Amino acid sequence: MEFRPCIDIHNGKVKQIVGSSLKDESDAARENYVADQDAAYFAKLYRKLNLRGGHVILLNPVSSPFYEETRNQALKALKSYPDGLQVGGGITPQNAEVFLNAGASHVIVTSYVFREGRIDYDRLDEMKSAVGKERLVLDVSCKKKAEGYVVVTDRWQKETEEWVTEELLKTLSAYCDEFLIHAVDVEGKENGIERDLAALLGGYQGNPVTYAGGIHSFEDLILLKELGKDRVNVTIGSALDIFGGNLPFMEVASFLGGAG
């Protein structure tokens, strides 16, 4: 279980938001925290502590008037920590090279490989060909339903017909190096992890998986470690003191053995 830090960028600012509140219309989101520092500051902090594999997420769509400002912040972060951070948000075969050349170790993709609510394997092949399996992370973030966990796309606003299962992860593992999975219902709410999802991910023994959502205490980390059978990595946002929360960032890094 590794600690994967994050840098979420919205409207050109490093923020922590309530994931389920994000709306493309008017670029709205309910904010938990807006940082005074820029994205490069956090990238340099993670680099100093040798925390690798963190996620830089662009939360504005390409159509947003804030997109260029958000993109520039992301590029500055990547250049501040070459090969130490992954980047996601509006990634396509056409623009992936820009982020990789800026220093990203991987690109994170969701929406591009979905069409009409299903995985488009032609697009997935195209994405894999463009960047290589070893530099591709698939985001299969999800919402809980009575039947299980349904994959959501387009900044978590659109439900698909795909469900997070061990079988789906095994199928997709042929195309990517890692998975990133946000439990969208609890993302940014600091009220505990999605236990059923954590247990499901713990049963998967393939590519590395990073879980995000709801963590607000060391007890949550211990529970995730147990349910995930020590195989599931973790990213934490709003709960950390560097983002206005109560969890000491340095203690979390030390607890998970990520700082070195």
How does DSSP assign 207-225, residue by residue?
Answer: S-EEEES---SHHHHHHHH
Give yes or no for residue 196 having a pLDDT over 50: yes
Give yes or no for residue 193 having a pLDDT over 50: yes
Predicted confidence at residue 23, as pLDDT, reads 52
Query: What mean pLDDT, rounded, does the chain reach?
Result: 91
Predicted confidence at residue 260, as pLDDT, reads 38
First to last CA, the chain: 15
Predicted confidence at residue 30, as pLDDT, reads 63
Single out the residue of 11, 17, 12 nearest to residue 212, CA to CA.
17
CB 107 within 8 A of CB 74: no
Burial 165-202 (b: 16+ CB within 10 A, else e): eeebbeebbebbbbbbbbbbbbbbbbebbbeebbebbb
| SS3 assignment, position 99 | helix
d(CA 35, CA 16): 9
Burial 236-258 (b: 16+ CB within 10 A, else e): bbbbbebbebebebeebbeebeb
d(CA 143, CA 186): 9
CB 187 within 8 A of CB 208: no
- What Å distances lie between residue 3 and 37, 40, 118, 211, CA to CA? 21, 19, 31, 10
How does residue 258 score in pLDDT terms, banded at 50, 70 and 90? low
Predicted confidence at residue 20, as pLDDT, reads 47
Burial of 205 (0-12, 13-18, 19+ CB in 10 A): exposed
pLDDT digits (tens, 9 = 90+) for 82-124: 999 999 999 999 999 999 999 999 999 988 998 889 999 999 9
> What single letter denotes the amino acid at residue 202?
G
* Cα dihedral 86→54→8→20 (10° resolution): 100
pLDDT digits (tens, 9 = 90+) for 49-60: 999 999 999 988
Predicted confidence at residue 188, as pLDDT, reads 61
Single out the residue of 232, 233, 252 nearest to residue 242, CA to CA.
252
Predicted confidence at residue 186, as pLDDT, reads 78
Burial of 134 (0-12, 13-18, 19+ CB in 10 A): exposed
Predicted confidence at residue 259, as pLDDT, reads 44
Helices (H), 175-248: 195-202, 218-227
Give yes or no for residue 220 having a pLDDT over 80: yes
Give yes or no for residue 28 having a pLDDT over 60: no
* 190 φ/ψ sector (left φ>0, alpha ψ -120 to 50, else beta): left
pLDDT digits (tens, 9 = 90+) for 34-84: 999 999 999 999 999 999 999 999 988 888 999 999 999 999 999 999 999
> What single letter denotes the amino acid at residue 90?
G
* Mean pLDDT in residue range 228-255: 94
